[in-house]
C-alpha cells in the first residue's frame, strides 16, 4: 500500500526524549506513523549548539533517530544563535537557519514522493519559502512566543530564549497551510491573531501505569528539563517546601536535567536525583507529582506524563492550562499554594482518594480529546496531500566505525564516524576532542551533505612516542569538545588534544601577533575578539610550542584595548559568526618560568568556537 | 535669562498658588459662576478625583479642568468622590455640571475612594487626579499616548512641577536604602532639564496624576487595603502591575503643576503613616525589588528595565530630517534604535534646538537629548557619572571619533570605559570626497595621498567593534585602508510614490542644501546651469522649469534665479513638490557618503538623472530609479534629462524599478535589522 511521506523539521532531536518538547515531538511522529505516514526527519542542530555554548556535550542520539525514521538528516547551524536580545523582542526570523533553506531545496528536488512538511516552532517558519508549491506545509507552534517576555517579570529574570511580538508570530504562522496549537487557549489566541483556522493537537500519551489506591505520601516528585520555566517554578516551590517541611511530610524528589541548575547543598525535605536513566524508576519511587508552574507557555507535558504513569498530580492553574480540569487541586494560584496543599493532604486518605478519582477522570477526558484531535489532524493533512508511491524503509544505522588511529606525541588520535560513537564516549582513558563541522560544498544539490553521521576525534593514551606527526584534524573545520573550554589543567592527554586541534581550520584567525616579555611579564599584542573582553566570559587559552610538544595553558591577567591600527601583517579571517576583533594587549600569567620564545600559535576556546592567533610570522621582541 | 532663573522656591510658589485659589473661590461665589463640564456619552478617559476638604484648591483644580479643551481621543468624564469633606467644601458641589458625584459620609481613605470611582468609570483609561493639580495643555492625550510607547504599558504618569517652576518628579525609582522611594530629579530648578524630557519605564509614578489601564486595574483588584487610609498605595499598585509583566511609564509631555499635600492630615500624622506604609510595602516587595538580582543600581536606578540596550549616540547636532548633511540618516538611525526598544542618549556635540518641541519634532520621545557642551568635558563627565550605564557608544563622523578618542586619551581612559561596544560611523569619508573634488577641479591626486588622508581621518577606527559606512563603494575604500569590522548601513526610506501620473507632472527638481558657497551641491547647480540646462531648454522647450528646494545662500539665490531657476528655499514637506515635477537631478561632481536626496526622490516615485559618482554610491543598476550621465559630457547629461522628460515608457519603468529597489534594500525592517546586528554583540555564554 502506498504511504504518504512527510518531512518533519525540528530544532531539537527526538532522542533522548528527555524534555517536554521532545516528548511532544515524538508523540506527533507516532501519531503520524499510526495514521499511515512515512516520516523523514531533519534535525536542525540548534540544541546541540546551545548545549555546547554552556559547556556540555550534546546528548543527541542520532543513531536512535536513524533507526526510527525512514531517512534522517542533520543540519549543522553555522551561525551562533543569539540567545538574548536587548531590543524589545526578537525579530521573527532571527533564529532562522540559512542552511535549512538550502537543505529543503535539495531535499524536495531529490524526494518527489514527499507531500508534506511539518516545521516545529514558528521561529523556523522562514524555511517554508524554500518549499515547492503543492507541498502541504504545517507549523506546530509548541508555545506562544508573543507574550513570553512578560512571564519573566514574575522574577525580574533576564528574558532569554525566543520571544517576539504577537504580530510577528501571527505573520510567521500564516506562512503555513495548517497551524497546530498544543492547547485550546493558545488555539483561540492564534485563531484571533492569524485570522485563520487553527487545529488543536494535545500530545497523546499511552498509559504506562494504572492509578493505584490512595496511600500515605512518602515522596512527591518533580521531573524536568533545565529551562527557565522549570527553574523558576521548582525553585520557588522547593524553597517553600523546605521551610515548612517536617519529618512526617513527604520528601520532594527532583529528577532530570533541572537538578544541575539547583543548589546542590542538602536541604530539609528535598532530594536531588539528577538525570534518571529510566523514567519508570522515578515514577515508581513517588506517590504524587507536583506541577508548581509559575511561568511557561504551551502545554505542560509533565502533567500529562505524570497521569500516564498513574500518579495523581497537584498543581497551579498555569500548569493545568489546556487540561479539562474540575478539581481545585488543579488550579492552585502559585507554587506556595501547591506546597501548602500537599502538606495538608499528605496524610489524608480521603482527600487522596478524591484527588485520584479526579485525576483518573481528567486523564481519561484528556486522552479522548487528544485521540480525536489526532484523527482530525491526520485527516486534514491527508485531505490536502496526494498519496505517494511506496518507498522502502532505510536500514538501521550501523555501529560506530573506527576508521583511523594516529600516533600523535604521547597520545593516539582516534577517528570514528558514527551518529553518536557512544562506545568511545564512555571508554576508559578516551576523551572527546572534536567533531567535524560539515562543509556544505554544494548545499542545494547534494543531499548527502546533510548526513546524520559526523566524524569525531578522541584522544587515547598511547604508548607510541612520535617526534613529529600531522594531526588528522589538519585543515578541517571542527567543533571543539565542550570539555576543552574548562581544560585549564595540566592534563597532558587533553593538552595533546588541544595541540592536535590547533592544526584544524579555526573559526576565527588573527595573524601578526607579538609576544613580548619584560622580566616575568608576558604581553600578547594581537587582534582580539571584543566580545571576549567582558568579565566572566568562559574561555581557555593555550600556547602552542614550535617544538612538537603538548599545548601549555595560560591565563589572561588583564586585557587592555589599544588605540591605533593593527600591524600591517595582521590578517583576520572569520568563518563562523560575527566576532569583531580589535587591537589589544593581553597580559598573560606565564604558566611557568618559560621563555617567551618558541611559540607558534595561541589557541583560544570560547563559546564553542575555536580561535587561533598565529604567531609564526613575527613572534618575540 | 534661562528658564531655571525664572523659577521661585516651591514654598513661595505654593503660598502664591494658595492665595490665587482663595481669590478664585471668592470670585466663583461673588459672581455666582458655575464650573461646567460638557456631557460626554462615550468617554475615552474617566478622571477620578478624590476630595477631602481643601476647597480652594479643589475648586481651582476643577475649574482648570473645565477649561481644558480635549480632543476626541481624550474626551473625558469627571467622577468626584468626596471623603466627608466639611460643609464649606461641599458648597462647591452644586456649582458642578456633568460631574458624577459620590458623597461618602465618612473618610474611607484614598484607595477605597479611588476604587469607588473606578467601579463606575466608563472609559478604558482611568486617570486618578489629585484635587490640587493643574494639567497643562495636551496632558491627557500625552498620557493616553504613553500607553503605546513601550510594550504592555499599564500605568502612565506625568511630569510634576511645583508651583513656582521647580521640578517635583520625573518618574521615580527604588534604591535599597532607608528612603527606598526616590522621585527622579525632585527639586531640580529647571523643570525642562534634558533628563526630565524623555519618556521611559520607571519604578513608579505618583498617584497625583496616574493613568491606569482599566483591564490592569480590574486584574489587580484596585488599590491594596493594607495602605488605607493613604500613602504608598500608588507605589504598591505600580509594583504589582510590573510583577504581572506590565510597564509603568513616565510621560514628560504630560505636564502638571501639583500643589502637593493639599488634603493631607498634619505633617506628623502624615510622616507616621508614610513610615508605617513603607514597612508594609517593603514586606510585600523587598524580595522582588532588591533580592532578585535584577534591580538596576547606581545611575541605572532611574530606569526600571535593566535589560534594555543603552546607547550613547554622538553627532554634531540634534539630527533632523530637514537639515541635510547626513543628519536625516542620523535621525533614522536614532529613531530606529528607539523603536527597537533601545534607550538612546543623544549627545549633540555642538548644536541643538532651544525649544523642546523643536528638539523632538521628529525624534522618538524616548530619546534623551543632552545639551551641547563642546565635547571633551561632557564625554569625561559622562564617563564618571554614568559609569557602567551604556552598552554601546556610537560616534558619528570622523572628527567626532577623533574628539571622543582625544578626550579619552587626555583623561587616561579608553572608549570602552564608557561602553562595552564601540561603533564608529564614518558617515561620509571626507578624504574620499576631497580626492574626488581635487580631480573634478583639475588638481592631481595620488593613491598614496588618498590612502594617507584616509588613515589620518580614521586613525582611531581600528579599536571599534564596528566601523559603519554608508555605501559599498566606501566599504571597499575602508577595507583597502586596512580597516577591520567594516559594515554598510545606508538610509531608511519606505516607498511612498506620489499619485500623479507622467502626464500630470512637469519640470525638473533639485533637492539639497545650497546654503554654503563652494559646497558640492552649489558646485553642481552652477555646473548644471552653466553647461547643461540651456541644452535641456533648447531640446525640450523654453518653458521647462528647474525647481531648487533647500536652504540657500543669498548670493547663490541671486545667481541661480538670474540663470532661470525657480528657487523655493527650504520646504518643511517635500511630498507635494515630489508629486508635481517629472524628473529630479543630482549633477554632483564630488561627494562623500551616500546621497539621501537620491533615496528620497526615488522613494517618492520620482526618477532621477545623476552623475556616475552618485550611482556608484547608491550601488544601483542603470534604470533602477535613475539614469546616469557623466558631468564631463554636458550634452549626454542634457539628453538623458530630456529623454526622461519625454519618454513615458522609460519614465514609468525607471520609476517602478526604483520603487522596487527601495522596498528591497531600504525598508524600515531591513534597516532595523542591520542596526541590531551592529549594536548587539553575539551572545557569549
Q: How far is B283 from B224, CA to CA, in rounded Å?
A: 14
Residue in B292, B463, B685 nearest the CB of A582:
B463
Closest chain A CA to residue B239: A153
Model pLDDT for residues B151-191, shown as the tens digit of each residue: 899 999 999 999 999 999 999 999 988 889 999 999 999 99
The ipTM assigned to this model is 0.83
- H/E stretch holding B433 reads helix B430-440
Is the pLDDT at B33 greater than 50? The verdict is yes
pLDDT band at B586 (very low <50, low <70, confident <90, very high): very high
Q: Residue B641 in contact with residue B614, Cβ under 8 Å? A: no
- H/E stretch holding A178 reads strand A178-181
A86 with B295: Cβ contact below 8 A: no
Q: What is the pLDDT of residue A520?
A: 75
Q: Which of residues 510-529 of A touch B (CB under 8 A)?
A: 527
Q: Exposed/middle/buried for B406, CB within 10 Å: 0-12, 13-18, 19+?
A: middle
Q: What is the pLDDT of residue A395?
A: 40
Is the pLDDT at B551 greater than 90? The verdict is no
Cell 516520516, residue located? A39
Could you write out the three-class secondary structure of A246-275? CCCCCEEEEECHHHHHCCCCCECCEEEEEC
What is the pLDDT averaged over residues B569-585?
A: 89
Residue in A86, A530, A531 nearest the CB of B308:
A86
Model pLDDT for residues B496-518, shown as the tens digit of each residue: 999 999 999 999 999 988 988 88
Judging contacts by C-beta atoms under 8 Å, the chain B residues touching residue A561 are 414, 416, 463
Instruction: Classify residue B482 as left (phi > 0), alpha (psi -120 to 50) or beta.
Output: left
Model pLDDT for residues B467-479, shown as the tens digit of each residue: 999 888 788 888 8
Model pLDDT for residues A310-346, shown as the tens digit of each residue: 999 999 999 998 898 889 999 999 899 999 999 999 8
Model pLDDT for residues B39-63, shown as the tens digit of each residue: 999 999 999 999 998 899 999 999 9
Q: What is the pLDDT of residue A621?
A: 41
Q: What is the pLDDT of residue B277?
A: 93
Cell 606527526, residue located? A469
Judging contacts by C-beta atoms under 8 Å, the chain B residues touching residue A530 are 420-422, 465, 681
Q: Which of residues 337-396 of A touch B (CB under 8 A)?
A: none
pLDDT band at B103 (very low <50, low <70, confident <90, very high): very high
Is the pLDDT at B94 greater than 90? The verdict is yes
Model pLDDT for residues B381-427, shown as the tens digit of each residue: 888 889 889 999 999 998 898 889 888 888 888 888 889 899 999 88
Dihedral, CA of residue B598, residue B600, residue B601 and residue B607, to nearest 10: 60
Q: How far is B211 from B125, CA to CA, in rounded Å?
A: 6
A156 with B463: Cβ contact below 8 A: no
Is the pLDDT at A3 greater than 70? The verdict is yes
Which of A400-409, A604-613, B230-239, B422-431 is most confident? Answer: B230-239
> Among residues of chain B, what percentage have pLDDT more than 70?
96
pLDDT band at A398 (very low <50, low <70, confident <90, very high): very low
Q: What is the pLDDT of residue B262?
A: 60
Model pLDDT for residues B341-374, shown as the tens digit of each residue: 999 999 999 888 889 999 999 999 999 999 987 7
- Which of the pair, A413 or B58, is modelled with greater confidence? B58
What is the pLDDT averaged over residues B292-317?
A: 87
Q: What is the pLDDT of residue A583?
A: 86
Is the pLDDT at B441 greater than 90? The verdict is no
Q: Residue B590 in contact with residue B639, Cβ under 8 Å? A: no
A607 with B421: Cβ contact below 8 A: no
What does each C-alpha distance from A511 to A525, A527, A581, A585, B240 come to in angstroms?
Answer: 11, 8, 12, 14, 55
Q: Which of residues 163-192 of B touch A (CB under 8 A)?
A: none
Lowest mean pLDDT across A218-227, B25-34, B266-275: B266-275
Q: How long is chain A?
A: 621
B684 with A153: Cβ contact below 8 A: no
Q: Which of residues 547-576 of A touch B (CB under 8 A)?
A: 560-566, 568, 572
pLDDT band at A389 (very low <50, low <70, confident <90, very high): very low
Q: What is the pLDDT of residue A419?
A: 62
What is the pLDDT averaged over residues B75-88?
A: 96
Chain B CB within 8 Å of residue A578 CB: yes
Judging contacts by C-beta atoms under 8 Å, the chain A residues touching residue B307 are 86, 158-159
Dihedral, CA of residue A24, residue A27, residue A29 and residue A35, to nearest 10: -140
- H/E stretch holding A527 reads strand A521-529
Output the average pLDDT for chain B.
90
> Among residues of chain A, what percentage have pLDDT more than 70?
91
Alpha-helical segments (H) within A20-161: 20-34, 46-53, 62-68, 98-110, 148-151
Model pLDDT for residues B648-683, shown as the tens digit of each residue: 999 999 999 999 999 888 888 889 999 999 999 876
Q: How do A552-561 and A539-545 pair as beta strands?
A: antiparallel
Lowest mean pLDDT across A340-344, B201-205, B459-463: B459-463
Q: How many helices (H) and strands (E) does chain A have?
A: 14, 26
Closest chain B CA to residue A91: B673
What does each C-alpha distance from A465 to A390, A472, B304 come to in angstroms?
Answer: 56, 16, 61
What is the pLDDT averaged over residues A541-545?
A: 92
Q: What is the pLDDT of residue A391?
A: 42
What is the pLDDT averaged over residues A414-431?
A: 70
Lowest mean pLDDT across A74-88, A434-448, B12-26, B90-104: A434-448
Strand-pairing partners, residue A573, are A509
What is the pLDDT averaged over residues B516-529?
A: 91
Interface test with B, best of A87, A162, A167, A510 (most B CBs within 10 A): A87
A530: Cβ contacts below 8 Å, ≥ 6 apart: A561, A579, A580, A581, A582, B420, B421, B422, B465, B681
Output the average pLDDT for chain A.
86
Model pLDDT for residues A41-84, shown as the tens digit of each residue: 999 999 999 888 877 888 899 889 999 999 999 998 888 888 88
Is the pLDDT at A266 greater than 80? The verdict is yes
B465 with A580: Cβ contact below 8 A: yes
Omega within 30 of 0 (cis) for the link into B268: no
Closest of B154, B36, B142 to residue B95, by C-alpha: B36
Amino acid at each position: 500500500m502506498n504511504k504518504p511521506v512527510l518531512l518533519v523539521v525540528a530544532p531539537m532531536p527526538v532522542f533522548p526524549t528527555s524534555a517536554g518538547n521532545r516528548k511532544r515531538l515524538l508523540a506527533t511522529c507516532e501519531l503520524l506513523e499510526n495514521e499511515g505516514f512515512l516520516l523523514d526527519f531533519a534535525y536542525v542542530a540548534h540544541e546541540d549548539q546551545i548545549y555546547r555554548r554552556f559547556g556540555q556535550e550534546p546528548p543527541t542520539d542520532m543513531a536512535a533517530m536513524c533507526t526510527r525514521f525512514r531517512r534522517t538528516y542533520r543540519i549543522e547551524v553555522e551561525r551562533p544563535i543569539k540567545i538574548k536580545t536587548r531590543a524589545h523582542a526578537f525579530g521573527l526570523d532571527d533564529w532562522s537557519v540559512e542552511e535549512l533553506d538550502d537543505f529543503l531545496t535539495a531535499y524536495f528536488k531529490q524526494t518527489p514522493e514527499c507531500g508534506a512538511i511539518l516545521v516545529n516552532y514558528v521561529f523556523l517558519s522562514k524555511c517554508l519559502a524554500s518549499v515547492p508549491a503543492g507541498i502541504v506545509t504545517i507549523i506546530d507552534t509548541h508555545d506562544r512566543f508573543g507574550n513570553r517576555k512578560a512571564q519573566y517579570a514574575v522574577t525580574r529574570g533576564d528574558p532569554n530564549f525566543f520571544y517576539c511580538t504577537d504580530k510577528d508570530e501571527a505573520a510567521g504562522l500564516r506562512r503555513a497551510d495548517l497551524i497546530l496549537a498544543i492547547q485550546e487557549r493558545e488555539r483561540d489566541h492564534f485563531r484571533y491573531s492569524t485570522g485563520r483556522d487553527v487545529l488543536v493537537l494535545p500530545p497523546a500519551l499511552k498509559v504506562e501505569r494504572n492509578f493505584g489506591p490512595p496511600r500515605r505520601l512518602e515522596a512527591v516528585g518533580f521531573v524536568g528539563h533545565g529551562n527557565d520555566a522549570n527553574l523558576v517554578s521548582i525553585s520557588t516551590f522547593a524553597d517553600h517546601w523546605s521551610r515548612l517541611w517536617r519529618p512526617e511530610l513527604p520528601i520532594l524528589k527532583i529528577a532530570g536535567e533541572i537538578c544541575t541548575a539547583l543548589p546542590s547543598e542538602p536541604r530539609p525535605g528535598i532530594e536531588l536525583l539528577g538525570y534518571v536513566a529510566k523514567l519508570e524508576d522515578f515514577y515508581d519511587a513517588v506517590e504524587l507529582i507536583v506541577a508548581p508552574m509559575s511561568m511557561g507557555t504551551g502545554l505542560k507535558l509533565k502533567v500529562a506524563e505524570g497521569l500516564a504513569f498513574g500518579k495523581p498530580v497537584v498543581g497551579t492553574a498555569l500548569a493545568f492550562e489546556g487540561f479539562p480540569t474540575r478539581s481545585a487541586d488543579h488550579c492552585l494560584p502559585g507554587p506556595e499554594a501547591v506546597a501548602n496543599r500537599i502538606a495538608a493532604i499528605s496524610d489524608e486518605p480521603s482527600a487522596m482518594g478524591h484527588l485520584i478519582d479526579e485525576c483518573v477522570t481528567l486523564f481519561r477526558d484528556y486522552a479522548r480529546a487528544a485521540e480525536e484531535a489526532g484523527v482530525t489532524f491526520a485527516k486534514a493533512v491527508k485531505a490536502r496531500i496526494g498519496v505517494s508511491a511506496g518507498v522502502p524503509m532505510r536500514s538501521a544505522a550501523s555501529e560506530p566505525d573506527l576508521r583511523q588511529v594516529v600516533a600523535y606525541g604521547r597520545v593516539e588520535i582516534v577517528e570514528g564516524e558514527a551518529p553518536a560513537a557512544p562506545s568511545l564516549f564512555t571508554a576508559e582513558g578516551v576523551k572527546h576532542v572534536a567533531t567535524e563541522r560539515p562543509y556544505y560544498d554544494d548545499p542545494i544539490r547534494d543531499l548527502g551533505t546533510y548526513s546524520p553521521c559526523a566524524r569525531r576525534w578522541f584522544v587515547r593514551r598511547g604508548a607510541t612516542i612520535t617526534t613529529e606527526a600531522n594531526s588528522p584534524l589538519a585543515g578541517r573545520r571542527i567543533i571543539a569538545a565542550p570539555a576543552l573550554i574548562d581544560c585549564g589543567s595540566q592534563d597532558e592527554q587533553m593538552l595533546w588534544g588541544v595541540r592536535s586541534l590547533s592544526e584544524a581550520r579555526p573559526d576565527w584567525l588573527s595573524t601578526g601577533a607579538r609576544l613580548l616579555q619584560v622580566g616575568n611579564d608576558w604581553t600578547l599584542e594581537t587582534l582580539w575578539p571584543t566580545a571576549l573582553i567582558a568579565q566572566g566570559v568562559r574561555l581557555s587559552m593555550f600556547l602552542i610550542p614550535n617544538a612538537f610538544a603538548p599545548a601549555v595553558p595560560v591565563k589572561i591577567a588583564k586585557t587592555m584595548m589599544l588605540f591605533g591600527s593593527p600591524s600591517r601583517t595582521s590578517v583576520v579571517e572569520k568563518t563562523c559568526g560575527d566576532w569583531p576583533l580589535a587591537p589589544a594587549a593581553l597580559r598573560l600569567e606565564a604558566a611557568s618560568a618559560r621563555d617567551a620564545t618558541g611559540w607558534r600559535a595561541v589557541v583560544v576556546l570560547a563559546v564553542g568556537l575555536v580561535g587561533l592567533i598565529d604567531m609564526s610570522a613575527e613572534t618575540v621582541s | 535669562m534661562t528658564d531655571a532663573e525664572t523659577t521661585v522656591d516651591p514654598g513661595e510658589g505654593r503660598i502664591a498658588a494658595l492665595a490665587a485659589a482663595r481669590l478664585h473661590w471668592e470670585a466663583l461665589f461673588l459672581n455666582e459662576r458655575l464650573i461646567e463640564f460638557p456631557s460626554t456619552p462615550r468617554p475615552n478617559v474617566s478622571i477620578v478625583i478624590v476630595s477631602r476638604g481643601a476647597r480652594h484648591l479643589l475648586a481651582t483644580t476643577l475649574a482648570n479642568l473645565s477649561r481644558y479643551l480635549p480632543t476626541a481621543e481624550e474626551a473625558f468624564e469627571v467622577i468626584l468622590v468626596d471623603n466627608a469633606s466639611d460643609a464649606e467644601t461641599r458648597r462647591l458641589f452644586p456649582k458642578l455640571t456633568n460631574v458624577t458625584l459620590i458623597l461618602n459620609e465618612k473618610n474611607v481613605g484614598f484607595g477605597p475612594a479611588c476604587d469607588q470611582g473606578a467601579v463606575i468609570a466608563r472609559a478604558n483609561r482611568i486617570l486618578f487626579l489629585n484635587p490640587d493639580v493643574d494639567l497643562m495643555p495636551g496632558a491627557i492625550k500625552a498620557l493616553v499616548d504613553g500607553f503605546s510607547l513601550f510594550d504592555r504599558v499599564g500605568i502612565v504618569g506625568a511630569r510634576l512641577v511645583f508651583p513656582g517652576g521647580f521640578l517635583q518628579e520625573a518618574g521615580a525609582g527604588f534604591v535599597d536604602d532607608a528612603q527606598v522611594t526616590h522621585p527622579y530629579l525632585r527639586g531640580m530648578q529647571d523643570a525642562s532639564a534634558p533628563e526630565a524630557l524623555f519618556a521611559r519605564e520607571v519604578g513608579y509614578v505618583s498617584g497625583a496624576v496616574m493613568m491606569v489601564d482599566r483591564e490592569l486595574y480590574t486584574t489587580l483588584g484596585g488599590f491594596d487595603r493594607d495602605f488605607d487610609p493613604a500613602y504608598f498605595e500608588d507605589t504598591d499598585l505600580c509594583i504589582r502591575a510590573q510583577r504581572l509583566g506590565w510597564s509603568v511609564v513616565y510621560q514628560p509631555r504630560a505636564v502638571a503643576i501639583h500643589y502637593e499635600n493639599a488634603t493631607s492630615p498634619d505633617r506628623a500624622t502624615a510622616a507616621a503613616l508614610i513610615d508605617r506604609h513603607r514597612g508594609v510595602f517593603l514586606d510585600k516587595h523587598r524580595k522582588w525589588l532588591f533580592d532578585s538580582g535584577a534591580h538596576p543600581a547606581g545611575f541605572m536606578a532611574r530606569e526600571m528595565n535593566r535589560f534594555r540596550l543603552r546607547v550613547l549616540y554622538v553627532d554634531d547636532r540634534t539630527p533632523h530630517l530637514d537639515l541635510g548633511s547626513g543628519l536625516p540618516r542620523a535621525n533614522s538611525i536614532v529613531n530606529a534604535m528607539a523603536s527597537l526598544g533601545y534607550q538612546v542618549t543623544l549627545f549633540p556635540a555642538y548644536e541643538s534646538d532651544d525649544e523642546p518641541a523643536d528638539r523632538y519634532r521628529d525624534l522618538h520621545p524616548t530619546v534623551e537629548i543632552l545639551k551641547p557642551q563642546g565635547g571633551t568635558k561632557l564625554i569625561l563627565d559622562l564617563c564618571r557619572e554614568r559609569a557602567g550605564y551604556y552598552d554601546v557608544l556610537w560616534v558619528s563622523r570622523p572628527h567626532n571619533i577623533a574628539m571622543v578618542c582625544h578626550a579619552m586619551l587626555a583623561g587616561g581612559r579608553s572608549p570602552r570605559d564608557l561602553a562595552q561596544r564601540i561603533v564608529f560611523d564614518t558617515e561620509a569619508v571626507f578624504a574620499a570626497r576631497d580626492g574626488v573634488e581635487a580631480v573634478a577641479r583639475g588638481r592631481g591626486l595620488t593613491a598614496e595621498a588618498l590612502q594617507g588622508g584616509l588613515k589620518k581621518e580614521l586613525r582611531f577606527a581600528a579599536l571599534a567593534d564596528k566601523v559603519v559606512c554608508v555605501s559599498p563603494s566606501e566599504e571597499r575604500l575602508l577595507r583597502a585602508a586596512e580597516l577591520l569590522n567594516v559594515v554598510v548601513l545606508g538610509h531608511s526610506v519606505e516607498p511612498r510614490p506620489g499619485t500623479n501620473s507622467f502626464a500630470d507632472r512637469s519640470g525638473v527638481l533639485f533637492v539639497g542644501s545650497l546654503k554654503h558657497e563652494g559646497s558640492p551641491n552649489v558646485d553642481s547647480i552652477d555646473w548644471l546651469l552653466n553647461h547643461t540646462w540651456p541644452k535641456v531648454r533648447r531640446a525640450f522647450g523654453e518653458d521647462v522649469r528647474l525647481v531648487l528646494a533647500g536652504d540657500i545662500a543669498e548670493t547663490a539665490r541671486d545667481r541661480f534665479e538670474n540663470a532661470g531657476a525657480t528657487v523655493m528655499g527650504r520646504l518643511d514637506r517635500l511630498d507635494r513638490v515630489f508629486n508635481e515635477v517629472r524628473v529630479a537631478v543630482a549633477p554632483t561632481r564630488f561627494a562623500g557618503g551616500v546621497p539621501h536626496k537620491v533615496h528620497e526622490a526615488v522613494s517618492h516615485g520620482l526618477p532621477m538623472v545623476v552623475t556616475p559618482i552618485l550611482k556608484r554610491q547608491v550601488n544601483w543598476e542603470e534604470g533602477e530609479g535613475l539614469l546616469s550621465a557623466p558631468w564631463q559630457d554636458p550634452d549626454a547629461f542634457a539628453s538623458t534629462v530630456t529623454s526622461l522628460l519625454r519618454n513615458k515608457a522609460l519614465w514609468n519603468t525607471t520609476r517602478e524599478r526604483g520603487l522596487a529597489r527601495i522596498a528591497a534594500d531600504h525598508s524600515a525592517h531591513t534597516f532595523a535589522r542591520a542596526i541590531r546586528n551592529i549594536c548587539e554583540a553575539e551572545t557569549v555564554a
